Amino acid sequence: MRMTSGLFPSGPPRPIFREPFPVRGGAVALGMVGGGLWMMLFGLLAPDAGWYVWITYIAGFVAWLVALLLARMGDRGVAVGVAMSTAVGVAIATIVLVVRSAGGGWLPW
């Protein structure tokens, strides 16, 4: 039997490792829409800016728990979308808190 030069490998092919549950763009978009609607729903329930901050922080905490649960047991693309839109909602509430508190008085109390 003739020995190969090694220029063209003839051994078994190398294994290909793939993500078992890949994150898809459509799932991320669906999660962003769902998270955005969740934050908007709770933001519309607030009668004033102080309540808006509290309700948004609570809704954001619950949404992040759901995103962790989805990342662990469900669709990770949806979890990424929920986490992203929730982070935007909480950031907006924090901006409202800082701007309103800069004028005097601590807003959440």
Q: Which two tokens mark 16? A: 């290909």
For residue 3, what pLDDT is reported?
A: 64
- Quick one: how many helices (H) and strands (E) in the chain? 3, 0
The tens-digit pLDDT sequence of the chain (109 residues) is 566 666 766 666 677 788 777 889 999 999 999 999 999 999 999 998 889 999 999 999 999 999 999 999 888 999 999 999 999 999 999 999 998 888 777 766 6
Total-model pTM:
0.77
Cβ of 87: how many Cβ atoms within 10 Å?
16
Residues 37-61 as b or e (16 or more Cβ within 10 Å = b): ebbeebbeeeeebbebbbbbbebbe
First to last CA, the chain: 86
Annotated domain spans of the chain: 25-102
> Computed over its alpha carbons, how large is the radius of gyration of the chain?
24
